[in-house]
Amino acid sequence: MDKERVEGIATMVAENWRGLGQGTLRLLREGFPGVAFVAVSASDVTDTPFRSLPEVDFHYIDTSDHCVRIVYDAASAGGILLAMKETT
């Protein structure tokens, strides 16, 4: 996954997550065809994110197999896992 695409994804999440929450996934899927997006609770993820926003952590995922797995190399990523943080 190239840096420009990742920046576009991060910008879309930053601009929309507070108002739309998980509804942002629809925008991401429409705006970035071919990229897989998965949203889970941040409490379910122990890996270090490659990027963080106040509401969401970003993790690269390998989507080449039936089950996705977190990876640390952008070049091998087929998608992004959005780990949703608890907000008060």
Stated pTM of the model:
0.91
88 has a pLDDT exceeding 60: no
pLDDT tens, position by position, 43-61: 999 999 999 999 999 999 9
Q: Strand pairing of 79-84 and 36-41?
A: parallel
Tell me the C-alpha distance between 37 and 24, whole Å: 10
- Domain map of the chain by residue range? 3-84
Count of CB atoms situated within 10 Å of the CB of 73: 10
